[in-house]
Structure 1
Amino acid sequence: MINENETTKISDEAPLGEKELLEEFERRKRNLQGWRYWLVATIAIAASLFHLYTAAFGLMAAIYQRSIHWMLMGVLIFLLYPISKKRPGDRIDFWDWIFAGLLVIGCMNIILNWDAISMREGMAIPSDISLGVIMVLLVLEAARRSMGWPLPIVAIVAMLYALFGPYFPGMLAHGGFPLEELAPFQYLRTDGIFGVPLGVSASFIFLFVLFGSILNVSGAGQFFIDLSLALTGRSQGGPAKAAVVASALMGTVSGSSVANAVTTGSFTIPLMKRAGYTSEFSGAVVAAASTGGQVMPPVMGAAAFIMAQFLGISYWEIVVAAAIPATLYFISIIAMVHFRSGKRGIMGISGVELRNVKEVFREGWHLLLPIVALVGFLATGYSAVKAVFWSIICLVVASWLGQEKYRMTPRRILDSLINGAINAVEVAAACACSGLVIGVIGITGVGLAFSSFVMSLSHGILPLALMLTMVGSIILGMGVPTTAQYIITSTLAAPALAQMGVPLMSAHLFCLYFGVLADVTPPVALATYAAAGLSKSNPLKTGFVALSVAVAGFLVPYMFVYNSYLLFQGNLLRIVLGCVTALMGIVGLSAAVQGYYVAPLSLPERLALFIVPFLLIVPNIYTDAVALALLIGVYLLQKHKVGRGVAPSVAVPHASNSVGKEE
């Protein structure tokens, strides 16, 4: 599942707290019954079957594929999401039928009359203008209902900018475009609503959402949690490390921060609190780790598929490039947990409470086959569409190799088809609404003006330009989904970074990473809110703790901008050396943030380790040597102090009655 805002369907055996959290983060979709439910279910099944059919037998022409996709997704939005949370949730208002009908008319006009429309391009007739205005308004309303106001507001501002260009100051001014020209442009070209973002949703994203939905229904979520506990539960700070590993495993198939946090956190947060972690830290670990799912191959967030289209490369190349940075991100959180556990004296779970790794693997090994198949198909040159299609087939077949509880029966398959389509509607709305912004950027040329602005503001100094892009990405990511954030910032800021010599892949991944990290950046941090709800902690405090836990992850994008070997580019020796230096930086920063290395750090030791990551951002043999010397020097000094018994004492939490408290 790759929609950053969707949630996962949970079985009836799931904890009540998890179900309540899912209901909250589903933004109160309607709870339809009777014929209304079956109507929505039929449309959802039709959408899933349509995308599976085109994956098997070939995609339709771009405009037809996108029109049918948006028609199905848009209708589902208006039938599922009420105009206001105050409206009854068990029936569909009459105006929603009107909105859905108008959307069908707008899409069917393209499907039935595309030849005539393409022949008169540039000479819009009255129906083109009126339908264009209606479709723009429907896209804005669909995005508002499914995601809230932030993204529609960005799109509205963009449209106003296109209409009133002459009244803007300086380099932002342009000639302006009348509504009679702008509305048909957004509606009848593959530069606006039906642009690249919606095209990626129609071809790639929906299928990966469906893949995740089927995998989840098959019981993979619980298997990943059990496997993580078996692997790490006995080590120092085992429960928290298990939460990180579980989120990483879930992240391989779910690019949703919220769904990841709710699914893994409902099981791992209580374990962390029993071990002695505070409620805030328990929620923070789950939030920070779950956020990494959007950059964890092989199934990343929706933005990764759009990145492949923007860069004109295969999705597999994105997967390869993102592998090392994503792994480093999760290692950074494990390092934070390890040093925190050492400082607080928190050990692992007793062996009696844990299942054996072999036992867990023997029970659910077949659930890994579809993921291995997906990687194999992508690596051998299959398109992303074909790869995920055959992986879905493999998943259904493999489910019958395990116990009965894992088998994909016809009823479970139907549930998966319904859930997959419903889970895909929000990302489709984000892509369609983002298309409005992309259309304005294209028709006005503001992208070039923005690049010039970044160049001017940073005075051509790359570190300053990177910091400006980071701040802009985080601020934008606080209000809009990661997909929309990436589309906007990569269109505006990535060209400026490229002009300064940053490889395009690095520039685009840089924009993506900091948009993803907005999910743990207060005041708006969806993953943090989900985790805080499960840990019963203050969301704002949990957000700031999550930010400190994920802070080493803020270092990774700067490293791969200056060291392209971290994107798996170059010879193997340099890639290995790049990974080693990155790990050194992560260890130094994590220890400094937590104030613990071998033993609690003194202020000079802490400052020395704070310097380490900044010495390692730009590859240089001399600065690398100094950083290594600092790491080894502080380590030996602390070992010496521990040996002499002069190191500060470590606080040990009380045993079973220390739930949620760190002494």
Structure 2
Amino acid sequence: MDNHLINDTDSDFEIAEKLAEEEAGIHRKPQGWAAYVIPTIAVTWSIFQLAIAKWVTLSSTYTRAIHLAFALLIVFLNYPTFKKSRFGLKMLSATNRIPLIDWALAGVASWSALYLIINYESIVNRIGQPIVMDIVAGCVLLVLLLEASRRVIGPALPVIALIFSGYAFLGPYMPDLIAFKGTSLNRFIGQMTMSTEGIYGVPLDVSAKIVFLFVLFGAMLERAGGGQYFIRMSLGLLGGFKGGPAKAAILGSGLTGMVSGSSIANIVTTGTFTIPMMKKVGYPATKAAAVEVAASTDGQLAPPIMGAAAFIIAEYVNVPYVEVVKAAAIPAFASYAALFYISHIEASKLGLKGMSRKELPPIFATFISGIHYLIPLCFLIYELVVMRHSPELAAFNAIWIMAIIMLIQEPVKAYLNNEPIAPACFRGVKNIFSALAMGGRNMVAVALATAAAGIIVGVVALGLGGLITQIIDVISMGNIYLMLVITALASLLIGMGLPTTATYIVMASLTAPAIVTIGGAQDFIVPLMSAHLFCFYFGILADDTPPVGLAAYAAAAIAKSPPIQTGIQAFMYDIRTAILPFMFIFNSDLILHNVNSWPQGILIFVMACLGNFAFASATQGWFLTQNKKWEVPLFLAVTFILMRPDQIASWLGMAHDQRYWTYPIGLALFGLLMILQKRRTSSEALLQGA
């Protein structure tokens, strides 16, 4: 990449650095000896997680409690109470030191998280009969966990948790429709802080055992330079095509999104380069930012390494992780294929071309320069998909390969550049410790999101599950279609202020069982995997849903575009993803449910891609040329036929086994539209020539 291009993005680097620090939880930069406290704790946390993955055997309860204690410790030391000074107390927003009150809160919060294992034997012996100290420690943990979540994630999740907690006590006084027998303080605290059905529930267990290792792997890959390598490779491969930088942004975000699990991290990593390039070839700032938002948001969908919520899906549905990957494959890749198609449409509308080869990295040289980054990634995929090892074992093994590469690559670079070897070896070790610290900091938000969301899960487990299903049934009037729309809108609304993982946990706890139950009541079988993926998809889409859409704000800062307009444009691009959950709820072929044949799977995938292309053409108003109004319903018809062949077969009186014979109908209609627009394009070209 030439120096001119790098210089053009200098200011964007400054913006991206600030965004990256916020994403990684770097809010305080204390001076003196205190500067080493937070990194040391983060490194210790990473080493602990590696130890329990292979060498140290701990009970699940101990692992969860220690995991949460580390997260709380880092939060209160690293995040000020407020971002700006309030009430005349500057210490509440201090970023250059750690106030005494936060030292105290960090200690008390860690103690309250560890209280369960410090007194484990006595608590087990008096299960269901907590003493006063149990209640005090439990209340302290709840209050400080919610405060820590507010500092890291924002007020939305603590407020929702408080509403559910209040409902647990005020249930008997509610209207008949939502009345609940309620609970006592003893039972509530016991459920939340003395059992594995509340804060220390399945989500926190997945965070402690699996997610941390994948986040650490992603941090090591990024620290080693893997993220920049993916961007350069994407640019080298696709930058020369029509609208090439946009296509490169999509590919780069897909590759980095596999391991980052965060749309904002994807934007910071890839958008700093790709957004200026998109603007350079002619994309308006808003559209350049929106393409990056859509690509980075969908990065969390990309198998085989998806976001943290994917591992929780495997636990909730009680299937191996590879089954989640299998189910998510066709919707994710079809969504990405359609985004490539949309970037091509936008380039065609704007009359854009690609970048010249001189401006792009050389493909072969770039590929060779970072081929070592592909080794741990390919090994991780091999372990997950071929060897079928557990996710934690696969990630652990990949981390060690990544560590060896980080140790070796700096001395090798020094040798090739005729530089001293010893300092290079030191840099390699320093990079590893930096990645360990980054992994711990990056995990704080996930750990707190899973723990705080556990409060909501715990309230539901108190006996609200059946009642919630009844409430949803009444609100949706027993209509599965209306219920899905309500669930989707609720996920988008709640997800505006929550991380993807927390949104998924909340919505899956409340609505996934209801979707299955209400569907069954209408003689319509909804696979549990479909219901959970439905919540997962809309939780991810909330990242670019205006007016909040944190991902849109991050991209807009780099592109210097209006955030709201960027979010709206990104949401318009992501509508193609929003229809997929509705389709696979009713057509389980799309998640390969009971599909074990490669030819059948490939056929479904190709038709899903074409159906998504047709939908993109309908929503973007363009195919080979600008659409006529009467063509839009035809494109939508193509989408429905290719994604719901089961329904078309039913309407035509065909057996379910004959459903794929309806595909030619959709293909013929798509071909007809192509011929019509081709003729219109030719006519327009002749008129312009005349």
- TM-score computed with the length of structure 1 as normaliser: 0.92
Q: Which residue is equivalent to 1:498?
A: 516
**2:673 corresponds to 1:634:** yes
Q: CA RMSD in A?
A: 2.2
Offset at residue 150 of structure 1 (A):
0.3
Correspondence for 1:465 among 474, 483, 487: 483
Among candidates 277, 281, 284, match of residue 278 of structure 1: 284
Task: Say whether the 8 Å CA contact 1:552–1:586 is kept in structure 2.
Answer: yes
CA distance in 1, matches of 2:633, 2:444: 48
Once the two structures are superposed, what CA deviation does each residue of 1:343-372 show, in whole Å capped at 9, x if it has no partner?
A: 211111112222232111111111011111
1:618 equivalenced with 2:644 (yes/no): yes
Q: How many angstroms does 1:190 deviate by?
A: 0.7
Counterparts of 1:255-266 in structure 2, within 5 Å, are 255-266=261-272
Q: Deviations over 1:583-622 (max 9, x none)?
A: 1211112122222222222222334223322333422356
Partner Cα separation in structure 1 for residue 138 and residue 688 of structure 2: 69
| Greater displacement, 248-257 / 347-356 | 347-356
Which structure has more RCO (C-alpha within 8 Å, separation ≥ 6)? 1
C-alpha displacement at 1:461, in angstroms? Answer: 3.3
Contact kept, 8 Å, 1:562 with 1:617, in 2: the verdict is no
CA distance in 1, matches of 2:495, 2:358: 43
Does 1:563 find its partner at 2:587? yes
How far residue 197 of structure 1 moved from its aligned partner, in angstroms, is 1.2
Match of 1:448 among 439, 463, 466: 466
Q: Confirm whether residue 30 of structure 1 aligns to residue 28 of structure 2.
A: yes
Aligned length in residues: 639
Residue 645 (structure 1) shift = 4.1
1:600 aligns with 2:626: yes
Once the two structures are superposed, what CA deviation does each residue of 1:202-235 show, in whole Å capped at 9, x if it has no partner?
1111111111110000101110001111111111
CA distance in 2, matches of 1:393, 1:415: 15
Shift of 1:453: 2.5
Gaps of 5+ in 2: 1-8, 86-92, 415-423, 520-524, 653-661
The residue identity in structure 2 corresponding to 1:201 is S
> Which of 63, 71, 74 is the aligned partner of 2:72?
74
Query: Helix, strand or coil for the counterpart of 1:409?
Result: helix
Quick check: 2:546–2:564 contact (8 Å CA) kept in 1? yes
Query: Per the alignment, do residues 156 and 649 of structure 1 end up closer, same or farther by CA in structure 2, a change over 3 Å counting?
Result: farther
Contact 1:279 1:535 in 2 (8 A): yes
1:463-492 Cα distance to aligned partner (Å, 9 max, x none): 222222211211111121111111111111
For 2:461, the aligned partner's letter is: G
Query: 110, 117, 120: which is aligned to 1:114?
Result: 120
- The yes-or-no answer on 1:182 pairing with 2:177 is no
Q: Is the 8 A contact 2:253 2:270 kept in 1?
A: yes
**1:43-442 correspondence to structure 2 within 5 Å:** 43-57=41-55, 59-85=57-83, 86=85, 87-379=93-385, 380-399=387-406, 400=408, 404=413, 409-442=428-461
> Structure 2: how far apart are the matches of 1:609 and 1:509?
26
SS of the residue aligned with 1:493? Answer: helix
For the residues of structure 1 that align with 2:471 and 2:599, how far apart are their CA atoms?
A: 39
1:283-340 deviations in Å (ceiling 9; x for gaps): 0000011001222123211111111111112222212221222111211211111111
Indicate yes or no: 2:515 matched with 1:515: no
Deviation digits for residues 353-401 of structure 1 (CA, Å, limit 9, x no counterpart): 2223211111111101111111111121211111100000111223436
| Residue 577 (structure 2) aligns with | 553
- Distance of aligned partners of 1:14 and 1:158 in 2 relative to their CA distance in 1, 3 Å threshold: same
Given that 1:255 and 1:296 are in contact with CA atoms closer than 8 Å, whether structure 2 keeps it comes out as no
For the residues of structure 1 that align with 2:107 and 2:23, how far apart are their CA atoms?
Answer: 28
**Which stretch has the larger CA shift, 98-107 or 451-460?**
451-460
Give 2:280's aligned amino acid: R
Q: Is the 8 A contact 1:315 1:384 kept in 2?
A: yes
Amino acid in the other structure paired with 1:452: Q
Shift of 1:152: 0.2
Following superposition, the deviation at residue 580 of structure 1 comes to 2.2
Query: How far, CA to CA, are the matches of 2:685 and 2:307 in structure 1?
Result: 48
Q: Residue in 2 aligned with 1:575?
A: 601
Contact residue 522 and residue 540 of structure 1 kept, 8 A:
yes
Alpha-carbon contact 2:116-2:193 (below 8 Å) kept: no
Write out per-residue CA displacement over residues 495-526 of structure 1, whole angstroms, 9 at most, x where no aligned residue: 12212121011110011001100111101101
* Structure 1 stretch displaced more, 117-126 or 373-382: 373-382
Instruction: State the TM-score, normalized to the length of structure 2.
Output: 0.89
Q: Give the letter aligned to residue 404 of structure 1.
A: K
Could you tell me how far apart the structure 2 residues matched to 1:139 and 1:268 are? 38
Contact 2:154-2:497 within 8 A present in 1 as well: no
Determine if contact 2:24/2:438 at 8 Å carries over to the other structure: no
CA contact (8 A) 1:59 1:65 kept: no
Give the aligned residue type for 2:34. R
Partner of residue 542, structure 1: 566
Measure the CA separation in 2 of the matches of 1:474 and 1:504. 21
**Structure 1: how far apart are the matches of 2:454 and 2:99?**
28
**Could you list the per-position Cα deviations for residues 172-205 of structure 1 after superposition, in whole angstroms to 9, with x for gaps in the alignment?**
2122222233123211111111111111111111
Q: In 2, Cα distance between the equivalents of 1:286 and 1:648?
A: 36
SS of residue paired to 2:370: helix
The answer on whether the counterparts of 1:21 and 1:534 sit within 8 Å (CA) in structure 2 is: no
Unaligned segments of structure 1, at least 5 residues = 1-10, 651-663
Letter in 2 for 1:38: Y
1: CA distance between counterparts of 2:569 and 2:106?
A: 43
Read off the aligned partner of 1:479 and give its amino acid letter.
G
Q: Is the 8 A contact 1:558 1:617 kept in 2?
A: no
